[in-house]
Structure 1
Amino acid sequence: MKINEFDYYLPKELIAQEPPKKRGYSRLLVVDRKKKTFEEKIFNEIIEYLNPGDLIVFNNTKVIKARLYGKLPNGKKGEILLLRKIGENTWEALSRPAKKMKVGTVLKIDNYEIKICERKKEGIRIIQFLNSTDKEVIEKYGNIPLPPYIKNPEIKEADYQTIFAAKEGAVAAPTAGFHFTSELLEKIKAKGVKIGFLTLHCSLGTFRPIKTENIEEHQMYYEDYEISEELVKSVEEVKKENKRVIACGTTVVRALESQMKEFGKLIPGYYSTNLFIYPPFKFQIIDALITNFHLPKSTLLLLVCAFADKELIFRAYQYAIERKFYFYSFGDAMLII
């Protein structure tokens, strides 16, 4: 399949530049795969589509202040985007300007030093914090790594976290979770719907564009995830009762479906995945999906097209554009049932 088959035109004014004034009040487009119909709702009304005994699985990763600015040996500005911790004070990262970030280069942030230790494929560097801990530098000088399409400088750190963000490590937010409030979660539980959590630290695998013409040639970056024994039991119980497992976000889909593809069942523990989901794909766990509207030609859009149907999803996107839904991280949501 060619990547251009997954392109679409989005007017710039529909790219949300800030979160809604109140969480839970985004718009929701409900896409029914069997009926091939669309319904417009306010996000809080999602509860109408949830049944007692269903299980919603959330990603409880927490975004770290992964973007660091410093000075290169020539006195000019340099930038590092942390991707994935691979050792004590050692990370995989992206850097700018890439040509100046040669092996051995030291980026200085005040009196703190970060060394480029190794250059890998796809522009990735191995970097090490030399005279301090990574945590100290991140907390003191780090910036929330907002996507490049968000130009609003007023975004606060709390705006780019879910309310259940608990385990630090992500460098991009699991944005489908933005729409949930504590109040909505309590109403969902009161209806008899179960709540579960896993952790997948969103990184380059989530947001790197597909650069190959043929989809099958794209290589996903590994992302770390953790599944608890409690979640495994919840999923198994729900499946036995013929109820639904509803994923809140594409990262939840990738974590759970990675387990099934690799082991044929869910096994508690800490893993990493580079699973690339694109049509056709056999889903073994997920029965419904809560997600935002994604970038053209992105791995996230391909996953959504695999879960539903490419023609149906593209009709839904066109419907959303015509009705001026907001797209991307701070945009409106879609529930695919």
Structure 2
Amino acid sequence: MNIKEYDFELPEELIAQVPLQERASSRLMVLNRKEESMDHHHFSDIRSFLKRGDCLVLNDTRVLPARLYGAKKDTGGKVEVLLLHQEQEDEWEVLVKPAKKVKKGTIIEFGNGRLTAECTDIQEHGGRKVRFTYEGIFLEVLESLGEMPLPPYIKEQLSDRERYQTVYAKEEGSAAAPTAGLHFTNELLEEIQASGVELAYLTLHVGLGTFRPVSVDKVEEHEMHAEFYQMSKETADQLNRIKNEGGRIISVGTTSTRTLETIIRDHGEFTEARGWTDIFIYPPQKLQAIDGLITNFHLPKSTLIMLVSAFAGREFILKAYHEAVEERYRFFSFGDAMLIV
């Protein structure tokens, strides 16, 4: 399968640069897979498309302010460091710019020495491993020195960093937000629960590999970066019960979907699990874990548009994307949403 099959034309002005003032005021395109129909609504209307007995599955990961700006201790040269994931307590895998100037043994200082990082290893893909030194609690130091690692297509500064967090974000560790969840407010979630729809939580710490462009022509040759996930016994039991009672499992975002699908493929049912997943979902694979999906509009030729196509069909999804462009929907992280049932 050629990557060009997942390309589409997107005017640059449709790439949302800032979040809307009200989270739930974004637009919502509703796709019905059976009827191949498309309807246009607002996200606050989503309650009318959910039924008593359904379950929304939400990724409660919390984005770290993972972008740090520092200087080499010996020369004062400026260095940008992006945290990817924690290997051990104070050891992290990171990306650095400019990479060629950070060699093994290089020491980088941040915040006039409040935080230092020593490069301990250079990896094959060009990343680095570093060991941090600091006083106090690492996450508190990071909160005061770091910036949100917004995607490269967002050029505007984010005035309120909480707008790049879901209202239910809890588990620290993501390099990017699970953006489908950004549309929910606490009030909307309470209204959804009051209507008889259950909420279930899992964690997948989103890595930058999720958004990495596919650089090969043949889709099957693309390799995903691994991301950490976990599901509690409580959530597993809840989802198995929902399935047995005939309710629908509606995944909020591709990150929740990848976690659910990983567990179902590995175990045959929902079960308590944690580990690393590099699952790559694309047509003609069929999704086994979900009955519905809430998602944003994704980058052309990305693994995320392939996952959505595996659920709803490539031609139908590309037709919907063409409609979204015609109707001037807002795209990507701070953009509008899609519900597929």
Normalization by structure 1: what TM-score? 0.97
Give the aligned partner of residue 54 of structure 1.
54
1:4 aligns to 2:4 (yes or no)? yes
Give the aligned partner of residue 79 of structure 2.
78
Task: Decide which of 295, 300, 305 is 2:309's aligned counterpart.
Answer: 305
Residues 270-289 of structure 1: pairs in structure 2 closer than 5 A: 270-289=274-293
CA contact (8 A) 1:205 1:274 kept: no
- Matched residues in 1 for 2:11 and 2:159: separation? 22
Cα distance, 1:279 vs structure 2? 1.0
1:123 aligns to 2:119 (yes or no)? no
Residues 6-25 of structure 1: pairs in structure 2 closer than 5 A: 6-25=6-25
The aligned length equals 337
Question: The residue matched to 2:275 in structure 1 has which SS?
Answer: strand
Residues 1-337 of structure 1: pairs in structure 2 closer than 5 A: 1-72=1-72, 73-109=74-110, 110-111=112-113, 112-132=115-135, 134-337=138-341
Q: Structure 1, residues 125-158: CA drift from partner, whole Å, max 9, x if none?
A: 1111135564354123111111111111143211
- Matched residues in 2 for 1:196 and 1:281: separation? 25
CA contact (8 A) 1:108 1:114 kept: yes
Q: Structure 1, residues 91-117: CA drift from partner, whole Å, max 9, x if none?
A: 111111111122222111121321111
Percent identity at matched positions? 47
Normalization by structure 2: what TM-score? 0.96
Further displaced range: 160-169 or 203-212: 203-212
- Matched residues in 1 for 2:125 and 2:152: separation? 19
Please list every run of 5 or more consecutive structure 2 residues that lacks an aligned counterpart in the other structure.
none
- Matched residues in 2 for 1:222 and 1:157: separation? 26
- Matched residues in 2 for 1:208 and 1:116: separation? 24
Cα distance, 1:269 vs structure 2? 3.2
What code does the residue aligned with 1:85 have? Answer: Q
- Matched residues in 2 for 1:80 and 1:283: separation? 36
How large is the Cα RMSD of the aligned pairs?
1.3
- Matched residues in 2 for 1:231 and 1:168: separation? 19
Further displaced range: 133-142 or 159-168: 133-142
- Matched residues in 2 for 1:154 and 1:263: separation? 41
What code does the residue aligned with 2:119 have? Answer: I
Further displaced range: 104-113 or 220-229: 104-113
CA contact (8 A) 2:104 2:121 kept: yes
Question: The residue matched to 1:151 in structure 2 has which SS?
Answer: coil
- Matched residues in 2 for 1:286 and 1:150: separation? 31
- Matched residues in 2 for 1:304 and 1:113: separation? 41
Question: The residue matched to 2:259 in structure 1 has which SS?
Answer: helix
Q: Structure 1, residues 39-76: CA drift from partner, whole Å, max 9, x if none?
A: 00010101111011001000011111100110123322
What code does the residue aligned with 2:107 have? Answer: V
- Matched residues in 1 for 2:140 and 2:60: separation? 23
Further displaced range: 65-74 or 190-199: 65-74
CA contact (8 A) 1:115 1:128 kept: yes
Please list every run of 5 or more consecutive structure 1 residues that lacks an aligned counterpart in the other structure.
none
CA gap 1:181/1:136 in 2 versus in 1, 3 angstroms: closer
Further displaced range: 177-186 or 105-114: 105-114
CA gap 1:2/1:134 in 2 versus in 1, 3 angstroms: farther
